[in-house]
Chains A and B, each alone.
Chain A
Amino acid sequence: MITLKQKLGLVLPYVKNRVIEQVKAVALIITYLVFFQTMVLGIPIAQAAVIASGLALVVCGLTFFMEGLVLGLMPLGEVIGLKLPQKSRLPIILVFSFILGMGATFAEPAISVLKAAGASVKAWEAPLLFLILNKHSDILVYSVGVGVGCAVVFGMMRFMYNWSLKPFIYGLVGLLTVTSIWGYFDPNLLQLTGLAWDCGAVTTGPVTVPLVLALGIGISRVVGGGDSESGGFGVVTLASLFPILTVLILGLAFVGKVPEPMAENEFFSEAKKQDVVSLFSNENEYHAYALQNASIDSQLKSFGNDEQKMMDFISRISGDSALKSSLFIKPSFQQWVNKIATPAQKDAVILNSDSTSQETRATDKSSLNIFAMLKAQSLAAIQAIIPLSLFLLLTLWLVLREKLPVKDEVFFGITLATIGMTIFNIGIELGLSRMGGQVGSVLPAAYKKIELTQNQKQIPNFDQNLVQDAIDGEGNKSRFFYTLENQAYTAVPFNLENFRQEDQTYTYTPSRGPLYGNEGGITGIIVVLLFAFIMGYGATLAEPALNALGATVETITVGSFKKKVLMQAVALGVGCGILLGVAKIIWNIPLVYLLAPPYILLMFITYLSTEEFVNIGWDSAGVTTGPITVPLVLAMGLGIGGQAGVVEGFGILAMASVCPILSVLSVGLYVTAKRKEAIHQDQDNKSDSDTNTHVQPQIQKSA
């Protein structure tokens, strides 16, 4: 038997290599973010210790997760792919594929993010979106699930009948373009289009992609006809496109039943009430929504301008804890009372409520609770991995009646993947998201003046006599005062609103920028665009699903298409995409101008490319928007968008999906051309040597 020392001798280098690999993967993006915030923007990192430990967790989690994929999930998928076509008939394979696709969707954590996004949608601005994200959010998840299910079904049929991916791409993208253009003329559908394209991006996560890839590789090894080069790829593409279609269809089904977008006070008026209440499950919900989101005028309107009715309603809720918790989720009823309700409304509550104080304490807990986070994230990880693995194992054991080869490795792998995902998600929440959020919110300081709200200070004993007058070149007067900070006197503009008379306190928010050039100047914007590019590039290199895809591509092509090449091509593409997306936000360019030309170009390049590269290129686009890129991009998009007064992060993700397809297909065209060139050269030479052999007739043949 081997000794403990020998065991350590085996395990340590193994662990070391895996960790180093992941450190390399995330090093670029992390050092870059730190460097950019501290050196380029010159703003210290808040909560540095929390962020640092979060980043360490990301590395650790990625290490576990990737190893779990390689040991557990991918071999499991491949075994099923190999056995399924041998042991069962077509209908069973298709039913299995459909269930797998559906199941993968329910397991994907990002789906619940979409549901959470529904909370911020204002019912009067986007009634259709509101309806689908709230009252019918289950139907939304089902329709995305059906989309992914169909995608896996068609993907498997492609392998079995050797269909090309190109017709699917032309058909689906064509159909989606037409639908999206149609949606452009209907304000309700227009808002839904954004959601639909986002649904396509989130379905292909770090669990689904490797599993579906492995399954496809297995199946195409058994049934594959001629070309095995593209075997296994293409399902991810379909899984990105089909859900867009199903969500748009869902929208079309509901669009006739919802009112047009309108102003807030019109929305709550008596005339519209009939239409509007249909957006909610019942009238109580409608009233509760008004109380939580609308202005006091509109609230009154929703009760038919009858104040007594409103107070009765509030009293009724506060006395009924079941109603309370079903109608007020976020904010909870207590939070609503404390923060939103008017004094009159508060009075209506207090009349018959005695449990409020208790609830107040319960709800105002500290936000950073590591155990709650651990529990939530491990639940999410288990939910994402275990049901799917169980489904696969049961299929293997009960339907196929096969035993699982290297059982210990697979189970160990699944455990590793679950642990890895938990740690990884905690790391993202603690480290990467915060980091991204900070950089994102201060990034616009490069080209414009921004207020650093997190560094807000209160000056006690403020004396208004300190305030002085100043005048600019055009004779406009403004007021300011001096503060002493770090041994330096700084002038701070004075604003009467920030002065509290009661305790003589002045609240002052330091500001920064523009750091490069003038306010809104091009130099600063170039800095921001460059930042966006490098961030997209670095984050993509760390994406786990892309790493898995790259390794698979390298194995399938026996190293003639290196993982490194694919990763670089995709990362450059994502970088360019994010740069364009940020440009869209800064200059408020309509999305269609940015999306249409690349897609037209893409159709053309797809037509020119070989099947092999079409599959790989389109698939890599599907996996780019993963757990590392999305939080960073969203944080940055919201940061810049917030400063620029635009609240739509959608464009960036869409651009980050289309550009990598372009870059991978371009690399593909280059490689194909190079291979062809080599063959042509040979053939040219051959024609020369043919003439030679005619002159020199052959003499001898071997025995």
Chain B
Amino acid sequence: MADDDTRILLRGRGIVPGKAVAEALVTRQTISGWGGIDERDGTVIELRHELHGVSFAGKVLVFPGAKGSSGWSAYWHMLRLNGTAPAAMIFTRMSTKIALGAVVSRVPTVTDLDGDPFEAIETGDLVELDADAGTVSVTKRG
């Protein structure tokens, strides 16, 4: 029986070690920390955000990066303490906010991928991320 799954492999730089396998949640909009998310349940609260009301807890969050307040890392730190952090993160725009936030969240995180993650990954795809090896394996769904 033919396997309908298509798999895509991307290679990049792991900036926080670890491995994770989870469903992807993809947005092309940057995400704020303070004022942008609810750290108690890992949902986006920014009024005009395309993910308003959606939770990234336990997901592989694929997004451009951080925006807004310097409290970004503090909020991602609280996500870890509350158990509501993403399972893994993939981002494309480096900044001090995302670097520090990823580090203190201890969430396996990869950046500088050799392909465009927004082209390769859609919400709902299964993503296997290995930040130690710097690899992202995407199984398309539907």
- Determine if chain A interacts with chain B: no
Interface residues of A (CB under 8 A from B): none
Interface residues of B (CB under 8 A from A): none
